Amino acid sequence: METKQNNLRWWILLTVIIGTFLGRLDQTIVNLALPKIINTFSITVSSAGWIATAYILANAIFVPIWGKLGDTIGRKKVYIIGFAIFILGSVLAGLSWNLNSMLVFRVIQAIAGSADYPTAMAIIAVTFSAGKERAQALGLWSTSFAAATVFGPLLGGPLIDTFGWRSVFFINIPIGIVGILMALRFINESKSAIKTKFFDWWGAITLGIMLSSLVLVLDKGSGWGWLSLDSFICYALVVVFTKIFIQVEHRAKEPIVDLKFFKIPAFVNTLLNNFIVFMGMMGGVFLIPIFAQTFLGYNATETGYLFIPMAAMMMIASPLGGALSGKVKAKYIIFASTFVAAIGLFLFSFLDPKSGPLAIIVPLCIMAFGLGFGMAQRTNIIASVVEPNEIGIASSVLAIVRNIAGAFGIALFGTILNNRINHNIIQINDYSHIISNKVAQVGQYISLIILKAQVNAYDYVFIISGFVVAIGAFAILTLKLKNEKTNVTVHVEG
């Protein structure tokens, strides 16, 4: 009987891995289809950017709502509802006839897809109650993120070339049906022991406005201009609705985000580490495909292949880090993993136009190993320091922090890159000269200055991102967990 129960737990884990994989695969694969969608709908690149932005906004807004609903009405129920709506949204997106219809259907997909992360993490935390086993399960679950990164380019390219861009949405149907059937068969229903009588709609609305304004300005601010009127409107909305949200949550009988979480030092410290790590990682890594295609001459498919070893390394590292639970304190695992990730980012600063593929693959693998090695520990701490009935909403807070950190990192380091390029052009020009009046030679002179300015700017950004992640590594050493011997296994009294 015990063996059967153990087997069921791992089937539950496989089920939620499939769901998480599908959601991340969709985000990766749709980006590859954007050029074809642009041609079909006869839209601009800027307009097509809203296909991704609309998804990000809707996803950010509804993550905490699904997390609270999962704790309230049942995680299995919410998980299956989200899965079913996601399949419906995928079908509609595949049938879309113009940009507006695509945006509506992508929002439907995003709303449904946002149910996955908080409910999946809560289901795992409830299913695997022991600290060590839970960390191992969360480590294996984390590999689905890396797997989606690999299979996105590998599946997306052939699908788009053979069957057209609509196929990237229709591929979700068979995978989704399998996921729903497995959820119905294996997942046990679980919910908070405390019955919710008053859903915090005002908290959900104010948090949604605040998050959407923040994500919007992070995504569009570079194009608008960080000091533009549009950006300032978003800044104002973020400040105003953050204040309103806090006031609402203090008064709410059953808040959608219990602010007492932020009185738990371990919770706050782990969130801070997650924010710094994801900000530095996303801020640095999003530049790699641009560098590879701009300066090394790789096409999009070849660039995608560079990331396969990275994803494989993360898939290896995540369960290894989880297996150390019960043997090494969580903060030391997170410190080591974060510091290794920082080294990987720093190694990108040696890239130049003569670099071969290994100059990208090796740092990516080092960074991915570091990131994956501590992933289970970061997630396990969040699940372990809150009450069991609040795991869903706590995990949604973690998801929000990671998403905002990624958007913030891309916006921040993209701005640093552009500013550094301009700074380098002026500086290099001041120390350079040309003894010629020939147009061709002057043109070549200008091109070389710009090339050197751009390459040096990339190096600068990678050094900064590595330094930021290293700060996150040392910050986690201040983490203190009550009654911890080797890992988190206790709950904070609420």
Q: What is the pLDDT of residue 88?
A: 92
pLDDT of 486 above 70 = no
CA distance 54 to 77: 26
| pLDDT top residue among 292 and 101 | 101
The residue out of 173, 199, 225 marking a domain boundary is 199
Q: Within this chain, do residues 50 and 134 fall inside the same structural domain, yes or no?
A: yes
Q: Does residue 438 lie in a domain region?
A: yes
| Same domain for 232 and 185 | no
DSSP 192: -
CATH code of the domain containing 165: 1.20.1250.20
Question: Do 366 and 469 sit in the same domain of this protein?
Answer: yes
**49 is written with which tokens?**
């950017």
Residues 360-378 have a mean pLDDT of 86
Q: What is the mean pLDDT of residues 274-278?
A: 83
Rounded to an integer, the average pLDDT of 149-176 is: 80
> What is the domain extent for residue 182?
1-199
- The pLDDT score that the predictor gives to residue 115 is 82
Last residue of a domain, one of 188, 222, 251: 251
- Separation between Cα atoms, residue 142 and residue 11, nearest integer Å: 16
Of 194, 193, 146, 141, whose CA–CA distance to 380 is shortest? Answer: 141
Residue with tokens 């409910």: 119
Q: How far apart are CA 342 and CA 371, in angstroms?
A: 9
Going by pLDDT thresholds of 50, 70 and 90, the confidence category of residue 4 is low
For residue 272, being part of any structural domain is answered with: yes
Q: What is the dihedral of CA 128, 258, 74, 64, to 10 degrees?
A: -100
Q: 371 and 312 in one domain?
A: yes
Q: With respect to residue 135, please indicate whether it lies within any of the assigned structural domains.
A: yes
366 and 268, same domain (yes or no): yes
Q: Which of 164, 199, 234 is the last residue of a domain?
A: 199
> Shortest CA distance to 183 belongs to which of 51, 398, 402, 16?
16
Phi/psi of residue 88, each to 5°?
-60, -45
Contact 394, 382 (CB under 8 A): yes
pLDDT of residue 309 exceeding 90, the answer is no
Per-residue confidence (pLDDT) for residue 488, from 0 to 100: 41
* Cβ contact 287:460 at 8 Å: no
Tokens of 110: 């995003």
Instruction: Please tell me whether residues 339 and 468 are part of one structural domain.
Output: yes
The pLDDT assigned to 347 comes to 92
Predicted pLDDT of residue 436: 63
What local confidence, expressed as pLDDT, does residue 431 receive?
67
> Residues 445, 434: contact at Cβ < 8 Å?
yes
What does the angle CA 440 – CA 446 – CA 449 come to, to the nearest 5 degrees? 140
188, part of any domain: yes
Task: Say yes or no to pLDDT of 343 above 90.
Answer: yes
For residue 278, give the amino acid letter: F
Write down the pLDDT at residue 401.
81
pLDDT at position 45: 64
pLDDT at 434: 66
| 493: confidence class by pLDDT, cuts 50, 70, 90 | very low
Return the percent helix, strand and coil in the chain, to nearest 5: 80, 0, 20
Q: Read off the pLDDT band of 11 (50, 70, 90).
A: confident
Residues 331 and 475 in one domain: yes
pLDDT range class, residue 23, cuts 50, 70, 90 = confident
User: Is 22 a member of any domain?
Assistant: yes
Number of domains comprising the chain: 3
Q: Are 488 and 481 in contact (CB under 8 A)?
A: yes
Same domain, 309 and 431: yes
pLDDT, position 240 = 94
Please determine, for residue 320, whether its predicted confidence score (pLDDT) is greater than 60.
Answer: yes
Q: What angle do CA 213, 218, 375 make, to 5 degrees?
A: 105
**Whole-prediction pTM:** 0.72
The reply to whether 188 and 240 lie within a common domain is: no
Mean pLDDT of 397-408: 78
Per mean pLDDT, which range of 43-52, 91-100, 298-307, 479-488 is the poorest? 479-488
Q: What is the C-alpha separation between 153 and 426, in angstroms, rounded?
A: 39
Are 101 and 113 contained in the same domain? yes
> Looking at the domain assignment, is residue 123 inside a domain?
yes
Q: Which pLDDT score, from 0 to 100, does residue 232 have? A: 92
256 in any annotated domain: no
- DSSP-derived letter for residue 326 is T
For the chain, the average pLDDT equals 79
Reduce the DSSP state of residue 195 to 3 states and report it. coil
Mind listing the pLDDT tens digit for each residue in 325-335?
Answer: 777 888 888 89
The rounded Cα 39 to chain-centroid distance in angstroms is 28
Is it the case that residue 373 has pLDDT exceeding 80? Answer: yes
* Closest listed residue to residue 209, CA positions, set 154, 180, 248: 248
Q: What pLDDT, on a 0 to 100 scale, did the predictor assign at position 494? A: 28
Name the CA radius of gyration of the chain, rounded.
23
**Is 32 within 8 Å of 11 (Cβ atoms)?**
no
Q: Are 314 and 460 contained in the same domain?
A: yes
Asked whether residue 258 carries a pLDDT value surpassing 80, the answer given is no
- Please give the DSSP secondary-structure letter assigned to residue 187: P
Closest CA to 420 of 257, 287, 318: 287
211 and 192 in a common domain: no
Residue 148 Cα distances to 151, 156, 341, 390, 488, angstroms: 5, 11, 20, 28, 29
For the stretch 70-121, pLDDT in tens is: 777 778 888 888 889 999 999 999 999 998 899 899 889 988 888 877 788 7
User: Average pLDDT, stretch 141-149?
Assistant: 71
Instruction: Determine the average pLDDT of the residues in 423-430.
Output: 75
